Amino acid sequence: MSNAMKISKNLPLLILLCLYCLPLLTQGLNQNERKPYIVYMGKLPVATTYAQKDHHHNLLATVIGDHQLARESQIHSYGKSFNGFVARLLPHEAEKLLEDDNVVSVFPNKLNKLHTTRSWDFLGLTENVKRQPTEESNLIVGVLDSGIWIDCPSFNDKGYGPPPSTWKGKCGAGKSPVDEEGHGTHTASTAAGVAVKGGSVYGIGEGTVRGGVEGGRIAMYKVCWPDRGCSDADVLAGFDEAIADGVNILSVSLGGSPKQFFTDPIAIGSFHAMKKGILTSCSAGNTGPSIHTVQNVAPWILTVAASSIDRKFITEVQLGDGKITSGRSINTFSPEEKLYPLFSGAVPSDPSSCDYDSLTNETVSGRIVYCPDNANNDFFIKQLGGAGSIVGLADEIDYSTPTIIPGVSVDADTAGKTILSYVNSTKNPKAVIRQTTSTTVPAPFVASFSSRGPQSITSNILKPDITAPGLDILAGFSKLTTLTATPLKTNDDTAELGYGSGQINPVGALDPGLVYNMSTNSYIAFLCKEGYNSTNIGAIIGTKGFDCSSIASPEGTDGINYPSMHIQIPSSNSTISAIFHRNVTNVGFSNSTYKAKVTTPKGLSIEVIPDTLKFSGLNQELSFKVVLKGSQIPTKNKILSASLEWNDSKYSVRSPIVVYKQ
């Protein structure tokens, strides 16, 4: 029995899969050194006798010219949900493979990064809300991440029966699926962890920790590794396995710099998932608050930004003169003394004055040390025997991170100046860092680190799609580590470019009234309208030589039945003009009438044709169009935000309408 199987023996409903070892995928250093390439061959052949590994080997041998070297170069074969392989190639060999009729695309293997209690109550999905336990227990959430710590109480399987008959997966042999970073355990328990009462971080933020689908099952695909990150090849292998295994939804909290869909493994893998009716939910990224940073922007992906809940972790610093200032951290340490000596390592004329090499045991030992922006400050201070760490940050601080010694991050312009002023006013400055407490605050707002749009890959698609809590969230952790939506706000001027359609409403999503349906063909037609050529489209959908003339051309500015409406216009344009064609399907009352309500800013006119939708049955589809006209966006603004709401006696279905000046 493999290690993976031994680990999962006591938790039969937790499906663990460990993919191949990432050190095999080390990048080559020059044109004469082999480096990993992904050779994508599209959909699986119909023939039942197809021997994929032999075919892949023969292709390689033909290009390389040596069977033994081809065998040594081959790293992995895909063949459960789509066709392809990973091999170490020279650049000219990669180009030669593209000439083969069976090969759709070839692209270098690159690395992606992981995107790093009360949240469900805040969203309205309380413990007392009416659940559907049978349906939930048959829901399998596939998670592509850093592995899982199965002994976490969030994954207790007491009372569960066998997996549903649709599940075809099994634990894979190989390296351990245990989570060494904590990220995978966190995301998995947030999605489908069982309720654990009394959850907290050493008493901070105590409450019931639970997932959105408490009765669901988790299939973990370990595609990320501490020393190598998350390679394209591993991520694509995760999709290949998960789709074939029969997951119902995929959670992918990782990504890299935006790239064209035909070289993006997450876009390609999620397209194959979409064809099987599997929704892929991806994080928008952690590189905000700058615009043009949003990741995972394919229209068949649900792109989720990070927002706050109504809880905030606060850590107070009391100075020797009695003044109290505060900042953000998760400081679980209780002070052993009333006050500690306070030392400032900040020297305005020397930006490196707080670097590790500049600090000494003599100046740091037994003291609380104040330093300007330094991400590893508490680690350095602990090594030098310091009693605590205060970091003054120039950027906005709206999230809390754990510290390995008493520590806190403060705003350099406010609390930081107060601390420095006190240090410079006395010969023996002292301070104490209090243990973190939680408090209730107005919410939600978009996290400063959450990546913002607009996106440049497909400029008329609004991304991110929605927001969900991503600040100060308690979830399961690994012991190896120490669309219905609600409008919300940002702490900057990015508006819908930060939060999309708004905060996710999980209860409302169960009974939305109207839905915007999209099919595989509608996505392909959209790609054709976007100007993708047959080669590029084939690289996404897995069919070489696709002809756009074989599919009906979509109408409207964006050419897709998306629930939001977005247009980017050049700054030189003097007017705004756009038409959006949409279809909605009635899933509410059999006989219902919806009336349009439009909210528009000054300078923009919006007409909805027709402005009334009368349904006579369930699953009936009706069409409408939205016509935008307006003068140039004012110089001081880059965004015009509007909205369309369809209302009947019970339901309100809202779509944001966003015009962005490039």
Both tokens of residue 359?
């600090």
What is the model's pLDDT at position 610? 98
Both tokens of residue 375?
């991400």
CB 25 within 8 Å of CB 234 = yes
Q: In 3D, which of 160, 309, 144 has the Cα closest to residue 237? A: 144
What is the model's pLDDT at position 217? 82
CB 496 within 8 Å of CB 656 = yes
What is the model's pLDDT at position 431? 95
Q: Please, which pLDDT band fits residue 278 given cuts at 50, 70 and 90? A: very high
Q: What is the pLDDT of residues 541-600, one digit of tens each?
A: 888 878 998 988 999 999 999 999 999 988 777 789 999 999 999 999 999 999 999 999
What's the pTM?
0.79
Q: Does 8 have pLDDT greater than 60? A: no
What is the model's pLDDT at position 58? 94
What is the model's pLDDT at position 520? 93
Pairwise CA distance, residues 414 & 430, whole Å: 19
Q: Does 270 have pLDDT greater than 90? A: yes
What is the model's pLDDT at position 202? 47
Q: In 3D, which of 629, 394, 595 has the Cα closest to residue 513? A: 595
Q: Helices 265-275 and 520-529, interaxial angle, to 10°? A: 140
What is the model's pLDDT at position 642? 93
Say what percent of the chain tops pLDDT 70. 74
What is the model's pLDDT at position 397? 72
What is the model's pLDDT at position 499? 67
CA 318 to chain centre: 37
CB 382 within 8 Å of CB 404 = yes
Give the lowest-confidence range in 295-309, 350-364, 464-478, 636-650: 464-478
Pairwise CA distance, residues 152 & 193, whole Å: 9
Average of pLDDT values for 323-350? 83
Q: Does 253 have pLDDT greater than 70? A: yes
Q: Does 167 have pLDDT greater than 70? A: yes
What is the model's pLDDT at position 504? 58
What is the model's pLDDT at position 72? 94
CA distances, 498 to each of 289, 307, 568 (Å): 8, 9, 15
What is the model's pLDDT at position 116? 55
What is the model's pLDDT at position 46? 78
Q: What is the pLDDT of residues 65-81, one digit of tens each?
A: 999 999 999 999 999 99
Q: What is the pLDDT of residues 88-125, one digit of tens each?
A: 999 999 999 999 988 999 999 999 988 753 333 333 43
Sequence-ordered list of residues with C-beta below 8 angstroms from that of 122, at least 6 positions apart, any chain: 309, 310, 311, 443, 444, 469
What is the model's pLDDT at position 393? 85
What is the model's pLDDT at position 25? 46
Beta-bridge mates of residue 598: 644
What is the model's pLDDT at position 580? 97
Rounded to 10 degrees, the C-alpha dihedral 350/352/353/356 comes to -170
What is the model's pLDDT at position 477? 37
Average of pLDDT values for 629-655? 86
Average of pLDDT values for 149-178? 74
Average of pLDDT values for 595-619? 95
CB 310 within 8 Å of CB 443 = yes
Helix (H, G, I), strand (E, B) or coil at 460: coil
Handedness of CA 27, 29, 33, 37 (dihedral sign): positive
Both tokens of residue 544?
């070489």
Helix (H, G, I), strand (E, B) or coil at 399: coil
**CA atoms within 13 A of residue 168's CA, in its CB half-sphere:** 12
Pairwise CA distance, residues 474 & 586, whole Å: 37
Pairwise CA distance, residues 502 & 304, whole Å: 10
Give the total residue count for the chain: 662
What is the model's pLDDT at position 481? 38
Q: Does 196 have pLDDT greater than 60? A: no
CB 105 within 8 Å of CB 83 = no
Say what percent of the chain tops pLDDT 90. 42
Average of pLDDT values for 356-373? 86
What is the model's pLDDT at position 82? 94
What is the model's pLDDT at position 440? 59
Q: Please, which pLDDT band fits residue 417 given cuts at 50, 70 and 90? A: very high
Q: What is the DSSP letter of 226?
A: T
Average of pLDDT values for 453-482? 64
What is the model's pLDDT at position 590? 93
CB 247 within 8 Å of CB 140 = yes
Q: Does 213 have pLDDT greater than 60? A: no
Q: Does 486 have pLDDT greater than 60? A: no
Query: Whole-number mean pLDDT of the chain?
Result: 79
